[in-house]
Each structure stands twice: as C-alpha cells, then as structure tokens.
A and B are shown apart, each in its own frame.
Chain A
C-alpha cells in the first residue's frame, strides 16, 4: 500500500509489523464467573470466589463472551472453529490469582480471516491493502497491581481479573506505522459495529502488542521484538517508528537485534527492554481439565450470523448506491458511531442526500465548534429529522433552517416549536407574494424593461427583493414561479 522505508547508512530497510490486539469483550459478566465487568468501580468490588481462585472454585464459560468472539470472527470473514478448547498458561504473578491464565493456545475459537484497510479511510481514492488475521482466541484478563498505595507493599485490585478478552493476532502483513494505524482503526471500527468491544483504548478496553522487525527489502525476516501493551494508536505508530529505527541503527552499527519483550514509554517516546527470551517464562500450556471443549452448533452459528449488523464496507457501498458522494459515504461509515447516527436519521424518513449533507456540514460543523463528539450532540437524530422535514416539506427555507438549528443547539427546543414561536414559517400565500412582486416591479420599471429586453441575470435581483420584502419567509419556489409569470 505504501512504500515505507527507513534510510540507513547501508541503504533502505523494510519494516515488518504484526499486531496482537487485546480487545475486552463487551459483556455483563466475566469470562468464567458471574462478576460484573463494570469499569471504574472501587478496587476488589467486582470479585467473586472464582476470580480470587479460592480452593475448589471452578470456571464456567460465559456463552455471551464466546458468542461475541464468533460474531467478530464472522465480521472479518474468518474461519469459525466449531470445536475449540481452553488451555492454561501457567505463571506466577500477584495479579493472577489462579497461577494460570485460561486462554486458547492450541485450538482457538476463530481461525484465519482478513481485514481490508485504507491509509485514509475518509478518502475514497486512498489505496487499499488486505491484512491477514491469523486467529482470534478468547482469554482471561489479569488483575492490576497498585504500587503507590503503601511504602513497602503492593496492593492488588482483582476487578479486571477474569474479564474476557479477545486476542486478535494479525499476520506480519503490515509494513509501515501508517498501515498499522489504519489497521487498528479499521479493526476498532469493526469491533464497534459488531458491538463486541467498545474499542476504548484510554480505559484499556483495547491494547496492542506490537511485533516489529526490519530487513533489507525482500530479504530474510529479521529478529523481532515485541512491544507490550501499547494503549493508543498514536503511541503505537510512534513505538513502531522508534523501534524500527533502533533496530536499523543497531544492526548497522554491528549489533544484533535480540528477541525480547519491550515496553513503550510515551513520555520519552522510546521503547526499552523488559525481558529477554532467556528470561521468558515457560508457560507450560496444557488443556484446562476443568473445562470441556467448546462445541458450536448450527443454531448458535446461525444466530451469531443473523445478529451481525451491516459492516462498514458493505454500508459504504450501499450509501454510494443510494446516491451519496463517495466522500460522504466514506466519512459516514468510517466510525460506527457516525454510521449508527446516520442510520437513525434515515429511519426517521429523512432523504439520504439531504441528511448526509446536513450531517456532514451543519452538525459536524457545530459539534466541532463546541468541541463535542457525536455522542454528546445536543440534537438527536429524531430532533434533526424534524428540522430536515420542515425544510423538505417547504415549511421553512434552508437558510431559516440554519437559524432554527442554532437555536436548537442552544435551547434544546424542538424545531417546530422554534419555527412557531419565532414566526419563521415560510409562506405559500401567493396573494401576498404577488402583491409584493407588483410593488417591486412598480418601483423598478427600468429593471423590468431591461430584463424583458433580455438581461436574464436580473431575475436574481427580483428574487432577492421579493424575499427581502417577505422577510425571508416566502417559499423560494413559489417566488420563482410567480416572478416568471409576472415578468413574462
């Protein structure tokens, strides 16, 4: 898609990137216990006997979490494995009560799939590239250690312990920080469309482990490093840039890249070593004997498929077919939030073209000025539809609509109430308009003569005068018709 190269002393280097994205599955309760998954609660308030790994406690899979993983797999056209299994990944850490994480190493629930990304998803002419997805598996999140609560002790918060994650593993098909950014954005958009993850990176619902290696273009793959837990798209792009450059510098100065786990420090904008391969854990994966294999039947898969919403690519094509510009269709579908808002607007009977133009110019403009997101918009689709309906049926003109919209944003009043209260209703009273036209023509006999002798451009002058006389409230189409008749 893009020829991204790092220019070193020995020539150009190609970057090879693979991403492992951890996405928290949207669900009421945890993967293997009934505890709530709510964010921001008091430490250790969403913790059950299972989450604390009390003696004799057993995991029971939450079908909803599996369902969300399957739906996500379907959304990226991946193979859904009807038979999968949970494995234990064994290691000791204070945030891991069981002493193992229940994950899926050998038989993940979702197999190969792919995502098509564009460098700029809002530019319909931007080149596209398919990024392979190797697998999606389901696993438990760990708890959180707090080191700042006591001078000599660390505290443990197990609220997150056992929350369901999807690990979405890409092929090393990504070759620039921009592509990685585009991939993560597209993935996040799909997850939000599907409703399987809220994609909220600030709250940690989505984070990426970034595998980076460098090589001479087309050469053998280099040794990769893995930068863990990067929690924003910008940081991820910075981490890749830094890490690729570091590897090139290292190799060119005679060193060798060590296979290791690294951390990204967003303050210093650099990655640094966390542990090397030699220190790597031997996780002693083996099938979890507390759990039966997961078997998915036709009815379950059918329900998953039927419950999938229209996905971004399909929606975009449909919008174009409805007559929206390619640009509008691209912008409206890039984020699930926008697409759902627009769909709500259409559901109220608003014309697609009118609605898309209004949303992209008026609403986005206004929100931009207020520094608000679409979710925080003071005007909801139903209210917007009422406003647009008043324009469509000729009750108010487009320019009056702008005034009404401003008042709506300020007061939250309904469009029709504002129009009524301020007397902004457009008049269709042909008698009144004809009377004004007659007055204007009488006062501008010279211009009437000029128009009649062929100076067509003057028509606009008469329209303007009439509209002004009608205080902007006359229906422009009627003005046009009546003027044409009067001027002959």
Chain B
C-alpha cells in the first residue's frame, strides 16, 4: 500500500490523474497524519471534511472525464493568515479568535480552483510577526527536527510560516501556503529542510490575506522539492483586480520551464553577506552551493550589495510602521475580540481590547511603528528608511549588470531551540538578516536545502533573482537540489 505521506505534489497529482489511487485515499491518509501529530501544534484548526470534499470533487471530475486542475487531488495546509470562507481565520491572534470570514482569499480560492483540498489552518507567528513561531496565541509550533546529540530539546520551526514548515517536514502535508514579509517563507523552509519561494512582489494577490506590512507581504508555496513549489506557485499566482498592487501579467508555465542546466547564467556572491564570525556550517554549505552551481554550468562572480547592513534596520522601521496602521482595524467595534469593561467608553474599549487581543511582539511592533510615524520622528525614521529601501533596490539593480542570480545563505544559523531567543528581540530580528534585502526590493527569492549542520539540522541556501524571473530562481534551486543529495528527514518522535 502506498504511503501517501511520502508523495509530493507531482506524485499525488499524477497518481490521481492516472488512476493509481483516488484523491480521497490521499486525503484520508493525510487527515489521519494531521490528527495524530497534535504534539507539533502545527494546525490551529483541522478541516478533514474540507480535504475529503475537495478530493471527492476531483475523483468525480476524473470519473466524468473532465480536465483536472494543476493541484488536483493534492491536500495542502493553509497558513492561518489567509481568510477562508466559513473556517475560522485568526492570524494566530486572540483578537481574531473565533473570526469566521464570509469570503475566501484570492490565493486560497485559486488553489481550490486548481483542485487542491484543505487539511486545516496552519499555525504561525501572531500576525506573521516573528521568526520562531513563538508569538502565536495558540502556542508555539514545534519542529519535527531534533539535534543529533540525542537531545529532545524542542526546536523552532522558524517563522512566521512555522506551522507550514513543520507540517511539511513532518509529512503531514505535501505542501502548504506561506507568506513572506521579511523571510517568513524562506527562513522556516531552511530550518526544516524543505523548499519555499517568495515570488516577485505583486505575483500573488494580497486580497483576503490578513495584512502585516502591505508593501512587503507576498504569498508563496512551501513544499518538499522545487518542482512542487513551481506547480503550486503557478496555481497561486495571477492578476487580481481586487489588489491594486497585483501585477497584470500572465502566469508563466514555471513547471514546464524547469531546466537545471545553468550554462550562460552568472551567479553573484555578495561579499557583504559573508559576515564576520559567520557560522562555520553556514560558510561550508554556501561554498558547497557555489560548487554545485558551477557544476551545473553557471559562472560565479563576486558582487557587492553595499547597503546590505542597513536593510534590517530599514525593514524594522517600514514593516512596523505599516503594521501599526494595518492593525488599527482590530478595535473591537465590528468583529473579533471586544473587551468592554463595566462603564467603559470608546477609548477604554479600544485600550482594553487591544491590550488583551494582541500579544507582546505585536504590541511591540505597533509601538515601534506608531513611534516612527509620529510628528517630529517621521523624517528621521520613516523617510530615511524609505531612502535606504530605494538604495537597497538600486544595489540589486547594479548587481544585475554583472550577474543573473544571487546565491547566499537563507539564515545565519540552523534552527535554534524554543525559548532561546525570545528574551532578546534583537537577536531574533537578526535571524532575518539575509532574507530582508530581497523583501525590501520586492525580488523573487527561494530557499532550498543545502545540507546539515554539525548538529544534524537542516540549513538553507537562498537564491535571489531579478524581478519577474522566478524561472531562473527555480532552475537554480533545481540544480542545487539535484546535486546536494539532501535526503535527511526528521525522525517521527511525536
């Protein structure tokens, strides 16, 4: 009997299409795995009936000889930042606990249209703010990975798409949606040894996705290999007139365009990413990545992205500024939590509701954002950060004169233990140091497994591409995947 948990998107889609098995069998098997993996806390809500329903529709379509979608029969996890009609959507916050949208986000709707089914809503950092999934109101997600020293210490699955990364690595689902504002797809993918791509800003509609920082938020797929990411991205992307920042461009056939022959491609290695005191394992993995791409026919060039060191501070001004405004709508008036103390007026209700409804990290970022937009500070912080953002984008523009893609580590370290970094927000923020520049520039960027650390934990290689050139990014990812020989898996301890 087929172990459906071992099948990726391609295998399930093709198996269902060929009639090797029924979509319902896959859905049932994965529903059972989800249900048995509560220890990971990857899901906030499980929706086995949704998975079955979608699978039945696909099986019926196949029986009727109708054409099947790109994701037909593939059950996936949906990050709980995407609004799903009739299914609670919380952004992992208390303030939205119990909120059931009457509408479906464009990206999730696109996936259902492509024949995917929903196993459940995945846990995440609250309002996507975090790098370890520890800010969720519904408890942190635990990575299925453990260090190879026999320790049972719980490790962070990365964040903010930590439910997604954990569930895929634990083979609860073959793929899941993520969103990436400053690394929230790539860093968790790197932490658990899977692939994930953040496409060019504007490729995936933001309509119906709970907003964190509008000018940075971008949805993307997470899966166990590059081809699966390509397929799922095709299903997710596309112009949406309901999102003014959506790109009015056709969706390329990324899967069909996959080609790991990199002859003629120049790969830039940014010297500024080689930080002093860089982790040895990370440096070694990066070097391996360089030799794999060389082997695939690419030319390696040294490049400079001179404003890299300012990216993180600029990000931590722009993202909280936008968030402070985006989250103003959670006020207890129309939906979600309302805390109305006896005899309270409107202002008291706002204060009580928001104090009770937002977690510490969210409150911190609202405070930072409010501060940097305040009269007298706006120019010194927000305006300055926007200038830095423009310079970062120009760094990349200049780099494209001498290279087609950039290779760098995804994160500066392997997964850390839960609780290790949450006392010091700055050290947590530093985990995004390599991911943030591509976010600020709106560029497509992907993480693929690059090897294991000394502790036996996955490390990720990041490929950054030119705007709209997801194809080259995917191709380089495929070239690495074919050479890295990464087959490590988390043991099933739960």
- Report which A residues bind B (CB closer than 8 A): 49, 52-61, 88, 90, 92-94, 97-100, 154, 156, 282, 284-286, 289-292
Contacts and interface: CB of A to CB of B under 8 A. Distances in A.
B325 A100 contact: yes
29 contacts: A54-B83, A54-B335, A55-B210, A55-B329, A55-B335, A56-B82, A56-B206, A56-B207, A56-B211, A58-B207, A60-B242, A60-B243, A61-B244, A88-B325, A90-B325, A97-B333, A97-B334, A99-B325, A99-B328, A100-B328, A154-B346, A284-B325, A284-B374, A286-B321, A286-B322, A286-B378, A289-B214, A290-B245, A291-B244
A290 to B, nearest CB: 5
A109 to B, nearest CB: 16
Interface in B320-378: 321-322, 324-325, 327-329, 331, 333-335, 346-347, 350, 370, 373-375, 378
Interface string B221-247: 000000000000000000001111100
B329 A58 contact: no
A98 B375 CA distance: 21
B101 interface: yes
B209 interface: yes
A92 B334 CA distance: 13
B382 interface: yes
Contacts of A55: 83, 89, 91, 96, 99, 101, 210-211, 329, 335
A88 B103 CA distance: 25
B208 interface: yes
Given A56-B207, A289-B213, A98 B242 contact: no
B346 to A, nearest CB: 6
Nearest to A282: B375
Contacts of A290: 206, 211, 214, 244-245
Given A56-B83, A97-B333, A99-B331, A292 B374 contact: no
Interface string B60-88: 00000000000000000000001100000
Given A55-B91, A56-B206, A98 B244 contact: no
Contacts of A90: 324-325, 328, 373
A288 to B, nearest CB: 8
Contacts of B211: 55-56, 290
Contacts of B89: 55
Given A286-B325, A286-B382, A92 B331 contact: yes
Nearest to A60: B244
Interface of B: 82-83, 89, 91, 96, 99, 101-103, 105, 206-211, 213-215, 241-245, 321-322, 324-325, 327-329, 331, 333-335, 346-347, 350, 370, 373-375, 378, 382
A59 B102 CA distance: 18
4 A-B pairs with the lowest CB-CB distances in the bound complex, closest first: A99-B328, A284-B373, A289-B215, A289-B214
B101 A58 contact: no
Contacts of A60: 241-244
Nearest to B382: A286
A53 B350 CA distance: 16
Which one of A53, A154, A156, A284 has the greatest number of beta carbons of chain B within 10 Å? Answer: A284
A289 B82 CA distance: 19
Contacts of A53: 329, 334
B244 A59 contact: yes
Contact of A92 (B82, B245, B321, B328): B328
A324 B280 CA distance: 93
A487 to B, nearest CB: 84
A282 B329 CA distance: 17
A323 to B, nearest CB: 53
Contacts of A286: 321-322, 325, 373, 378, 382
Nearest to B349: A94
Given A94-B346, A284-B325, 17 more contacts: A56-B208, A57-B208, A58-B244, A90-B324, A90-B325, A98-B328, A99-B331, A284-B373, A284-B375, A286-B382, A289-B213, A289-B214, A289-B322, A290-B206, A290-B244, A290-B245, A292-B245
A135 B370 CA distance: 28
A156 B333 contact: yes
Contacts of B105: 56
Which one of B91, B213, B241, B328 has the greatest number of beta carbons of chain A within 10 Å? Answer: B328
Nearest to A61: B244
